[in-house]
Amino acid sequence: MPRRTAPIVSVGARLQAILEAFTETSPLLTLSELSRRTGLPLTTTHRLVGELLTGGLLERDELGRYRVGLRMWEIGSLAPRGLGLRASALPFLGDLFDATRNHVQLAVREGTEVVYLERISARDAVHVVSRVGGRLPLHATAVGLVLLAHAEHEVREQALAAPLRRFTERTLGTAAQLRRALADVRRDGYAVCNGAVELVSLSVAAPVRDQEDNVVAALSVVVPAKGANPRALIPVVRAAARGISRALGAPSGLRLPVAARHETHVLPEHG
Amino acid sequence: MPRRTAPIVSVGARLQAILEAFTETSPLLTLSELSRRTGLPLTTTHRLVGELLTGGLLERDELGRYRVGLRMWEIGSLAPRGLGLRASALPFLGDLFDATRNHVQLAVREGTEVVYLERISARDAVHVVSRVGGRLPLHATAVGLVLLAHAEHEVREQALAAPLRRFTERTLGTAAQLRRALADVRRDGYAVCNGAVELVSLSVAAPVRDQEDNVVAALSVVVPAKGANPRALIPVVRAAARGISRALGAPSGLRLPVAARHETHVLPEHG
DNA sequence: AGCCGGTCTTCCGTTGAACGGAAGAGGAGG
DNA sequence: CCTCCTCTTCCGTTCAACGGAAGACCGGCT
């Protein structure tokens, strides 16, 4: 399958370019902005946007600017890796939140990045940069380490080969460090990141598995780094993650390290 | 603008037909299923689906079936009427949930239907048919009545003209009944539906307003109909709805009916 | 084994839908 | 008034999209 040399030819690619033009920081765009961002001629943009509009994938606000439509949100909500996972996980996230009263997050891997599916936060919780629907690189977050540690070999090598963006002086900076961290995560069944994105916050993450025992998501708690005791958080995070895994039909319990068995009961199943 | 006679011509419409083929009950589709559902020739479906795949709007599972992709979910999460609203509302939904320990829902209107944006539920709460991302007709739910009561004249007439599907014997069945209910909602500033979707459940809803004082969403609590006292719920639901409105920049408080003023303090702003 | 029903995929000649330049309508600012 | 920006409509050209045909692949049935 040889690589095409032409810039953008198919209608499908053009339509997708238009949809991709919307971002978190610019959710409202005029026609000419869309035309500029996509590089498509104004007339073409006009016609394509018109089609998306009649389908409800885009909407216009009262000033005539375009925005992502509710229909888009609805269809997106059918993504099995989105709301499906979320629905199974939500009760356990709630339990974990009640137990910790700090940010509780659910995330999946997409390429070499983390995508956040859900977060529950207290009003006074420590600041976090990520957002539901937002992305962060895999190497800088606890959920990212968990997801990368259990990703296919090829993905792992790809992430290790890429330059590792440093957010703080505590962000993992070299491939060797990252490789060791991943080995630790696989051995221990959890990941801890202390100040890797922002110095003020520390997070603890554990893997969520599906029927085939694949790691499909990761769960984390984010607490203020100052005075935090990660060792106390590890059991509850792992228990919640295992609860979700069980709800997804994972072959639970059996593959627990012996020393961790008793943790199963830390978080009551029903109460 | 004369009506086109041709069935489906534009690529855009075809692509959207493919996306629309996915539903809550069938989120995994094979190529031929997609072809049958959309009415597109198999070859055409194959090519278009391929484009959506490279863009990440669709994904394939390990058996080769197609599903809505995470990219779709991400872009959908940029819809201002989706996650934007949700983010503003979530803390207030949480407060309301803590206060009532029953289903708490946030919904918007799309055409003549309700679309549910968010729900917080206790594990033992009464059964509800709707789902996050799901739809119900406007006339059968408390949120629907609120949204319809404040919709533009044209939308209201359209909803009144359509046949009213009856879920139970308590569902509003005639346009006259509905018209009176809407007038009540406008006068009182809330709506109550007792067993209109399922006999076992009762819901209380109130409107959420934006900067321009438009009703952009509705908030509701769903409780078991048996032994419920709606009058006790009305103040807390209205207070939470007003809290969200204020967070959205609505000209708050000023337009409250005099008798309701004191309710403002029922739900503490910060606690 | 061989056959049949279903799946999915590749190939390729035809054709009409998509394209985008041109022109004009509207609107804000000077 | 003119200028500069926006958005929208029109329409002749052309090339991407189309979809039939053919074949690969995978069960299940006899």
CA distances from residue A227 to A70, A101, A201, A224, A250 in whole angstroms, order as listed: 43, 15, 11, 7, 35
Residue A54's nearest CA partner among B217, B107, B5, B10 is B10
B91 band by pLDDT with thresholds 50, 70 and 90: confident
Q: What is the pLDDT of residue B191?
A: 97
State mean pLDDT over B72-91.
Answer: 90
Interface of B with A in 134-153 (CB under 8 A): 135
Residue of chain B whose Cα is closest to the Cα of A69: B79
Which has more pLDDT, B108 or B268? Answer: B108
CB contact under 8 A, B76 and A77: yes
DSSP structural state of residue A220: E
**Which residues of chain A are within 8 Å of residue B55 when distances are taken between CB atoms?**
12-13, 16
From the alpha carbon of B9, which nucleotide's C1' atom is closest? Answer: C17
pLDDT tens digit sequence for A65-116 = 999 999 999 999 999 998 889 988 988 998 999 899 899 999 999 999 999 9
What percent of chain A clears pLDDT 90, i.e. is strictly above it? 71
State mean pLDDT over A161-183.
Answer: 94
Interface test with A, best of B44, B74, B85, B124 (most A CBs within 10 A): B74
Helix (H) or strand (E) holding B215: strand B215-224
Distance D30 C1' – B67 CA (angstroms) = 37
Residue A79 buriedness (CB in 10 A; 0-12 / 13-18 / 19+): buried
Interface of A with B in 83-102 (CB under 8 A): 83-84, 87, 91
Beta carbons within 10 angstroms of residue A24's beta carbon: 13
Q: What is the pLDDT of residue A30?
A: 95
d(CA A261, CA A248): 20
State mean pLDDT over A207-223.
Answer: 93
Q: What is the pLDDT of residue A256?
A: 46
Distance D7 C1' – A45 CA (angstroms) = 11
Q: What is the pLDDT of residue A98?
A: 87
Q: What is the pLDDT of residue A123?
A: 75
pLDDT tens digit sequence for B139-153 = 999 999 999 999 999
Q: Where are any strands of DSSP class E within chain A?
A: 58-60, 66-68, 103-110, 113-120, 135-137, 191-194, 201-209, 215-224
Which has more pLDDT, B261 or A186? Answer: A186
A252 has a pLDDT exceeding 70: no
pLDDT tens digit sequence for B244-254 = 999 998 886 44
Interface of A with B in 47-66 (CB under 8 A): 48, 51-52, 55-57, 59, 61
Q: What is the pLDDT of residue B252?
A: 62
State mean pLDDT over B212-228.
Answer: 92
Residue of chain A whose Cα is closest to the Cα of B25: A78
pLDDT tens digit sequence for B3-36 = 333 466 899 999 999 999 999 899 999 999 999 9
Residue B142's nearest CA partner among B205, B225, B208 is B205
Say yes or no: A241 contacts chain B, CB-CB below 8 A: no
pTM comes to 0.86
Q: Which nucleotides of D are covered by protein (CB under 7 A)?
A: 5-10, 15-21
DSSP structural state of residue B29: B
pLDDT tens digit sequence for B162-187 = 999 999 999 999 999 999 999 999 99
CB contact under 8 A, B76 and A81: no
Q: What is the pLDDT of residue A7?
A: 62
State mean pLDDT over B56-60.
Answer: 95
Strand D: protein residues, Cβ closer than 7 A: A 6, 9-12, 30-33, 35, 42-43, 46-47, 64-65; B 11, 14, 40-41, 43-44, 47-48
Point out the residue among A10, A78, A81 whose CB comes nearest to the CB of B133: A78
Q: Which nucleotides of C are covered by protein (CB under 7 A)?
A: 6-11, 16-22
State mean pLDDT over B185-206.
Answer: 95
B255 has a pLDDT exceeding 60: no
What percent of chain A clears pLDDT 70, i.e. is strictly above it? 90
Residue A75's nearest CA partner among B205, B23, B110 is B23
Distance D11 C1' – B125 CA (angstroms) = 62
Q: What is the pLDDT of residue B7?
A: 62
Do residues A128 and A113 touch, judged by C-beta distance below 8 A?
no
Say yes or no: A82 contacts chain B, CB-CB below 8 A: yes
B72 band by pLDDT with thresholds 50, 70 and 90: very high
B110: alpha, beta or left, given left = phi > 0 and alpha = psi -120 to 50? beta
Q: What is the pLDDT of residue A124?
A: 79
DSSP symbols for B94-135 = HHHHHHH-SEEEEEEEETTEEEEEEEE--TTPPP-S--TT-E
Helix (H) or strand (E) holding B18: helix B11-20
CA closest to C1' of D6 belongs to A32
d(CA B19, CA B104): 30
Point out the residue among A10, A27, A57 whose CB comes nearest to the CB of B16: A57
Tell me the pLDDT of chain B averaged across its residues: 87
Residues 6+ apart with CB under 8 A from A66: A28, A29, A30, A31, A34, A49, A53, A58, A59, A60
Residue B145's nearest CA partner among B188, B192, B98 is B192
Kindly state the tokens that stand for A19: 């949809």
* Minimum distance, in Å, between the CA of residue A82 and any CA atom of chain B: 6
